Amino acid sequence: MNSTELAPAPITPRRTRLVRVPDLARWQQAIALTSVGASPFQARRTAVVVPSASAADVLRHTLEDLCLVARWVPADADITALGALDWPVRQSMREGDDAPLAIALPHIVARDGLYRLLAEPLGALTRIDPIAREVLAGAVGRDVAAAGPAPPFPLRPALVAAMLDLYDALHRNRRTVDDFERLVGTALESGASFDRGAARLLEEARFLAAAFRAYDVALAAAGLVDEHGLRDRLLALEAGATPLTSVVVAVPDLAASPDGLWPADYDLLTRVAGLESLTVVATEALLGTGYLTRLLDTLPDVELVAFAGDPPPAPVLATGVSGAAVLVSRDREDEVEAFARRVRAAAPPGPADGAIALVHQRPLPYLYLARQVLGAYDVSWQAVDALPLAAEPWAAAVDVVLTFAASDASRAAGVALLSMPLLQFDGTDGDASGDAGAPSRPLTADAVAAADRELADALFVGGRERLIDLAARWREEIARGRVRSRRHRALVAVDALLRAADALAPLAGPRPASAQLETLAAVLAAAERPPAAGASRERHLRARGAIRGLLERAREAYQRFGDPPIAIDELAPLLRRLMEVQTFSPRVGPGLVHVVDAAAAAFGRYADVTLAGLIEGEWPASSGRNVFLPSNLLKDLGWPNDADRRAAARAMFDDLLHLPRRSLALSSFTLEDDAIVRGSAYLEDLDALTLATAPATIGSPAPFALAVAPLTIAAAAPSFRPARWPLAAAPPGPAEVGPRPAIAYAVTALDRYRSCPFKYFARDVLGLEEDVVEEAGLSARARGTLVHAVFQTFFDEWTAAGHAAIDAAALPAARTLFADVVDRLLRTIPPSERPIERALLLGSAVAAGLGERAFRFEAAQPQTLVARELEVKLDGEYALGAEGRPMRLRGTADRIDLLGDGTLRLIDYKTGKASNARDLLQVKIYGACAETHLHGHLGRTWTVAEAGYLAFGRGDDLFAAVITPETRAEVLAESGAQAHAVADAVEAGTFPVAPDDLFTCNFCGFAAVCRKDYVGDE
Ligand code: SF4
């Protein structure tokens, strides 16, 4: 780009070496000798280049451990070979006398850090901020697209970033934009006239080339430089200005690793003035994958040095079931738990042997699991990974705000928003909307769950306008006093959602990007509720600072380089991308266990290593694709090929197998997100692993509470033990949570326990809400609510109008009133659902409606109807079973018909099939309760003669009786005994994962918290 303006400095004579080592332990020794070994003064003028900041951290500790803890003394021959004549540890120090107190460490940096170090003499050179760079590239891209050639794709933020990646890759591969245009043109021009794919690629390449040139011009006009301009300036520096005289390269090249050095980096290191020594250190395994050949091409004068070093002790391979080389867990959580148990079972390693490593290919979710599981096992641990800022809780909160705004106040995003502990929109403090309306009640988790249910029942998917309508209608209903308490509670949460939606409304339409960023920053600042104190507060404040800075940098960049109008659909992906690429160190530690990525682990000195997550797609990690060009064109432009990358990854894995000094464990799992995953291909090829083996020693599991809302049990029995639930393993038998006091049982809850005790535990003990499954059309629950409301209202009004039983003569009047009630109540459901529900209730040309079927049923009954009792509350103590054992119960019977012969008929409405309900206790227990409840009503006793379901599902009899005069005594005795059996089990605290039918699990709202996959094994 600007190289023509800069005079090249004379090339300094330098020593270029390649140190070949047999394994990672000796690789670390060679790095130590070449960086720490010359002299303290020289160490400060040496940079060791590593793949990442986490690798730098690990290597720093390893160098200190080697010198200060293990007091390693190299052989004279190695000292001479690597010129480490001032190595800080002498033989006399090994016994403890005269030990070194400190060592001078070299600069240990990733690629970026190397450029920063080299650029120190350039002083206040204005290097463009990465966010400003994306904004500038986006502005340039838009200008070029407007003037032509136009791109065949929309200029989304992610594509602008991909354009810059391509631009950087070209320059780092020492190619120019002219090279790019010429190579792509030559390859595609001939086919473009008949191949639409080739024509599109050509169009794309022309746009990219024009945008790259325009970017160069815009950058120069702004008086800024990027990495490539910086490289030109570094090559023009005078000898003596460079702060480094020696560089040790401990990363491979780009062909072997995405963190490796590019051709332009090697060019810089071989030409920058003042650098006297360039040392590449690599294992034989890696060199054998083609790296050696490439190095000899890149550094033709390189001097090859074979390093003997001290061989490390061979580790013992921990084996699993039947001596298997791989320890296989159910999922990642179980995998980390098994690791924790091995750590607890093993003797702590000696200080000179190093720490214990859990090595992964990707930090998430291992860092989260480590916090949860290792914490539960009381294992001290530390993480050295820098995570994407997006993994921080505050970034997750920002993401939820963006999702809510982009989805126009969708229910799912709204519930997520209100469930975020770091955000508040309840108007109790920092009201984001500035609405000084009615005072707000504090928002509780219960209100959010109630809103989720009520909005789902109202078929609310999203839309600020519809939310406003719903809230207004619910308020009217509450004012009329005809609403269940859940809706009352839900309204508090819906008000909070409306406040959030109002505050974020400006983001919906296009406005200048800087103004949108300002609005978002203001909403976040107003809604933020930081943790009160402690480490989480400190972490939150750091993340908040990073995100505020990011918003501010983006705002300034837009103001400087053009401020296009954007709406939330562009703003959200832009911010997500920025949070994704910015890294953040969570600062966990120090601890015995190091949770570390594979590239960094190679630099560590460890007693025990577990290579975790050995599954397909992670070992080896799948390589990303270039979004603009196919691989054949990329190859011509100097891109590495997949075969080289795969061979190098395998060599690095093989090196890791010999990293630990005491034990090695290979760990995999079979399930991820309920899908089966395949093991890594590396595991099929372990024959060459000749390590001694020993069965893995597993410590006992640590029982700890399920990670859900705290369990509060009022008035616990004296012998009550705290609830314990093994998180990482399903209970082998009944799951015990300790004795529980007797309560007034909801009859539906008894049936829930019989359906699956764990469902009862989740719903009635832990108080969890069921997952709401999104359904097309009205959900079964919402339809049931509507049908109940229609019949209740109809019979209320029918009785109030002076009518009694519905006989053949009364049918026309009943039909008319029923149709009127239906039309009124249909207004409470979304318009799109009304035609279907109307046909269901009132009938169509092909089928009678529910009303007609119910009325015909009633008209066909021989007994005289004395009274019809609706929505009968059955709360109290009732004698159940043959022995009349008392039990406190609560429930509501839909309808009880009192008949002329002193009997009663108990009816429950069911929108589904009655055959599905025959085994339920509900109607049978209500029948027993009704006899007690109505004793003396209208001056007499009542005996249940019939109880059953008026079932509106197809393919069933309309009325399914579960009690008849003939079966009454037997059914009441049996159902009473069953109800007591459930209460006894609940009071004993027994809640196994035991569905009555595995089919139950398909529709269970607690599947997410249930270890049901073990059920079939028992
Ligand atoms: S998913 Fe199955 S086993 Fe688990 S709670 Fe639900 S019904 Fe019970």
pLDDT tens profile 810-867: 889 999 999 999 998 887 777 777 888 888 888 877 777 888 888 888 888 887 888 8
663, 695 in Cβ contact below 8 A? no
Across the range 872-877, mean pLDDT stands at 90
pLDDT of 904-914, one tens digit each? 999 988 877 76
Q: Is the pLDDT of residue 459 over 90?
A: no
Looking at this protein, which amino acid is placed at residue 311?
A: P
Average pLDDT of the residues in 82-95: 79
Percent of the chain at pLDDT exceeding 90? 47
| Contacts with 517 (C-beta within 8 Å, 6 or more apart), sequence order | 551, 554, 555, 558, 571
Q: Using the mean position of ligand 1's atoms as its centre, give its distance from the Cα of residue 1001 in Å.
A: 5
Atom of ligand 1 nearest to the CA of 1015: 3
Torsion of CA 823, 825, 831, 833, to 10 degrees: -100
Among 236, 246, 312, CA closest to 280 = 246
Give whole-number Cα distances, 429 to 435, 448, 493, 533, in Å: 11, 18, 15, 19
Give phi and psi for 664, each to the nearest 5: -125, 140
What pLDDT shows up at residue 83?
87
Distance, CA 953 to ligand 1 centroid (Å)? 25
Residue 381 β-bridge partners: 593
Count of CB atoms within 10 A of residue 943's CB?
Answer: 15
pLDDT digits (tens, 9 = 90+) for 477-531: 788 765 667 888 899 999 999 999 999 999 999 999 999 999 999 999 999 999 8
Mutate to test the pocket of ligand 1, among 759, 766, 773, 998 (most ligand atoms within 8 A of CB): 759
- Higher-confidence residue of 380 and 735: namely 380
> In the 8-state DSSP scheme, what is residue 274?
T
Buried b (16+ CB within 10 A) or exposed e, 848-882: ebbbbbbbeebeebeeebbebbbebebeeebebbe
Atom of ligand 1 nearest to the CA of 1000: 7
Q: What is the pLDDT of residue 724?
A: 32
Probe target for ligand 1 pocket from 761, 773, 999, 1001, with the most ligand atoms within 8 Å of CB: 1001
Closest-lying ligand 1 atom to the alpha carbon of residue 1007: 1
Task: State the pLDDT confidence band at 360, using cuts at 50, 70 and 90.
Answer: very high
**How confident is the model at residue 848, as a pLDDT?**
79
8 C-beta neighbours (distance < 10 Å), count? 11
| 999 CA → ligand 1 middle, Å | 9
CA 761 – ligand 1 centroid, Å? 10
- What DSSP character marks residue 458? T
Summarize the confidence of residues 925-948 as an average pLDDT.
92
pLDDT over 70 (residue 936): yes
Q: How confident is the model at residue 216 (pLDDT cuts 50, 70, 90)?
A: very high
Task: Please tell me the distance between residue 985's alpha carbon and the centre of ligand 1 in angstroms.
Answer: 17
Distance from the alpha carbon of residue 755 to the mean position of ligand 1, in angstroms? 9
pLDDT at 431 over 70: no
Q: What are phi and psi of 957, to 5 degrees?
A: -65, 150
Mutation probe of ligand 1 site: the residue of 708, 765, 1012 with most atoms within 8 A of C-beta: 1012
| Alpha helical stretches, state H, 528-671 | 535-561, 568-581, 598-601, 631-636, 642-657
Name the residue among 299, 221, 225, 324 with its Cα closest to residue 19. Answer: 299
Strand, helix or coil at 4? helix
> Tokens representing 804?
């009694």
C-alpha 162/C-alpha 1 separation (Å) is 20
Which helix (H) or strand (E) element contains residue 914?
Answer: none
Please give the biggest Cα pair distance in the chain: 116
What is d(CA 631, CA 641) in angstroms, rounded to the nearest whole number?
8
Dist. CA 194–CA 341, nearest whole Å: 64
Cα dihedral value 965, 969, 970, 975, nearest 10: 110
Cβ–Cβ < 8 Å for 790, 821:
yes
Residue of 758, 770, 997 to test ligand 1 pocket, by largest number of atoms within 8 Å of CB: 758
* pLDDT 10s digits, 531-582: 888 778 888 898 899 999 999 999 999 999 989 999 999 899 989 888 888 7
Please give the distance, rounded to the nearest whole angstrom, from the Cα atom of residue 1011 to the centre of ligand 1: 8
More confident residue, 654 or 1018: 654
Ligand 1 centroid from CA 1006, angstroms: 6
H or E segment at 746?
strand 745-746
CA pair distance 1000, 398, nearest whole angstrom = 37
Exposed/middle/buried for 738, CB within 10 Å: 0-12, 13-18, 19+? middle
Please tell me what DSSP assigns to residue 126.
-
Any residues with CB less than 8 A from the CB of 835 and at least 6 apart, and which? none
Higher-scoring residue by pLDDT: 103, 522? 522
pLDDT at residue 863, rounded to an integer: 79
How big is the chain, counted in residues?
A: 1018
- If one residue of 1006, 1009, 1013 were mutated to test the ligand 1 pocket, choosing by the most ligand atoms within 8 A of its CB, it would be 1006
Beta bridge pairs of residue 85:
none
Q: CA–CA separation, 194 vs 45, rounded Å?
A: 59
Residue nearest to atom 2 of ligand 1 (CA): 1001
Output the CA angle 793-796-799, nearest 5 degrees: 145
Give the pLDDT confidence score for residue 7 in this predicted structure: 52
Distance (Å, whole) CA 817 – CA 813: 6
Which of 261, 248, 356, 350 shows the shortest CA–CA distance to 307?
248
Residue 197 has pLDDT above 90, yes or no: no
Residue whose C-alpha is closest to residue 126's, from 249, 8, 233 = 233
**Residue 108 pLDDT:** 96
Strand partners, 48: 108, 248
d(CA 986, CA 1004): 20
What average pLDDT does range 266-272 have in this prediction? 94
Task: Give the pLDDT of residue 711.
Answer: 34
pLDDT given at position 1018: 36
Give the separation between CA 524 and CA 539, rounded to whole angstroms: 17
Mean pLDDT for the stretch of residues 212-241: 92
The answer, yes or no, to whether residue 796 has pLDDT greater than 90, is: no
User: For residue 759, which atom of ligand 1 is closest to its CA?
Assistant: 5
Q: Tell me what pLDDT residue 955 has.
A: 55
94 has a pLDDT exceeding 70:
no
Q: Exposed (0-12), middle (13-18) or buried (19+): which is 666, by Cβ within 10 Å? A: buried
| Residue matched to tokens 């049908």 | 787
Nearest CA to ligand 1 atom 7: 1001
- Name the amino acid, one letter, at 767: G
As for ligand 1, residues whose beta carbon falls within 6 Å of it are 756, 758-759, 993, 995, 1000-1001, 1004, 1006-1007, 1010, 1012, 1015
For the CA of 757, the closest atom of ligand 1 is 8
The pLDDT of residue 581:
80
